[in-house]
């Protein structure tokens, strides 16, 4: 059977990890959310989701992410994977999208990009929720607005499934992803 790689992309608070957890339960895929890699560096640094993280800490997290992506590329063919990302309009955004797409191709996997969309007002409402603290996630609504204004959000590619996570529950979003991907488990 051909492996599957889902790439859940959305701004902070859009539900990438939550939808990913539901998708993992439905499919048996491994969830490789962006904080799996980031928190290996963010936690020892003391990131609290409120104060900015310096560039040198982001550079360390990028090294951890590269090691994780290499391990993911070497995964056995029966391992399906779910990646999560916040991809901006900066040059790193399209490059990160391409890295996961290439990883899927190197594995001989079917790749499905999924854009999780949500209004800024709903994102700002979600950010202060206590569960975001445990993963050193952004929690300041003003920081979110500034980040979205300066970095934006990468436009979805033509092959992306688009889901409004304010309109659907995480469980229904995961079902839609499986259905839209044409893959039944």
> What is the reported pTM?
0.93
The model's pLDDT over 34-85, given as tens digits with 9 standing for 90+, comes to 989 999 999 999 988 888 899 999 999 999 999 999 999 999 999 999 999 9
Lowest mean pLDDT among 59-63, 67-71, 110-114, 137-141: 137-141
How much is the average pLDDT of 85-97? 95
Domain 4-180 falls under CATH 2.60.120.960: no
Question: 10 Å Cβ neighbour count for 12?
Answer: 23
Query: Which position has the token pair 């659907």?
Result: 168
pLDDT at site 182: 66
Average pLDDT, the chain: 93
The model's pLDDT over 7-18, given as tens digits with 9 standing for 90+, comes to 999 999 999 999
- Is pLDDT of 185 > 60? no
* DSSP state for residue 24 in the 8-state scheme: H
- Is pLDDT of 183 > 80? no
Question: 10 Å Cβ neighbour count for 152?
Answer: 14
How much is the average pLDDT of 15-34? 96
Q: Give the whole-angstrom CA distance, residue 143 versus residue 124.
A: 9
Q: What 3-state DSSP class applies to 127?
A: coil
Domain boundaries, the chain: 4-180
- Is pLDDT of 106 > 70? yes
Identify whether the C-beta of residue 7 lies closer than 8 Å to the C-beta of residue 163: no
Backbone angles phi, psi at 65, to 5 degrees: -60, -40
The strand pairing partners of 7, in sequence order, are: 83, 113
pLDDT at site 159: 95
Q: What 3-state DSSP class applies to 25?
A: helix
pLDDT at site 66: 95
- Copy the structure tokens of residue 21: 């957890």
Reading across the β-sheet that carries 161-164, which strands appear in turn?
A: 30-32, 81-85, 4-9, 110-117, 161-164
* DSSP state for residue 51 in the 8-state scheme: S
pLDDT at site 77: 96
């Amino acid at each position: 059977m051909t492996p599957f790689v889902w790439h859940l992309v959305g701004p902070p608070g859009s539900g990438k990890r939550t939808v990913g957890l539901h998708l993992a339960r439905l499919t048996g895929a491994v969830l490789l959310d962006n904080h799996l890699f980031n928190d290996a560096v963010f936690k020892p640094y003391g990131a609290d989701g409120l104060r900015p993280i310096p560039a040198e800490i982001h550079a360390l997290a990028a090294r951890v992410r590269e090691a994780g992506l290499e391990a993911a590329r070497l995964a056995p063919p029966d391992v399906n994977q779910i990646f999560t990302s916040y991809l901006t309009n900066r040059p790193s955004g399209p490059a990160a999208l391409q890295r996961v797409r290439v990883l899927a191709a190197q594995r001989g996997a079917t790749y499905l990009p999924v854009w999780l969309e949500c209004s800024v007002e709903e994102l700002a409402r979600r950010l202060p929720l206590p569960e975001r603290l445990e993963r050193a996630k952004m929690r300041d609504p003003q920081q979110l607005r500034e980040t979205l204004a300066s970095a934006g959000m990468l436009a979805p590619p033509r092959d992306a499934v688009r889901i409004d996570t304010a309109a659907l529950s995480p469980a229904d979003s995961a079902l839609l992803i499986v259905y839209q991907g044409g893959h039944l488990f």
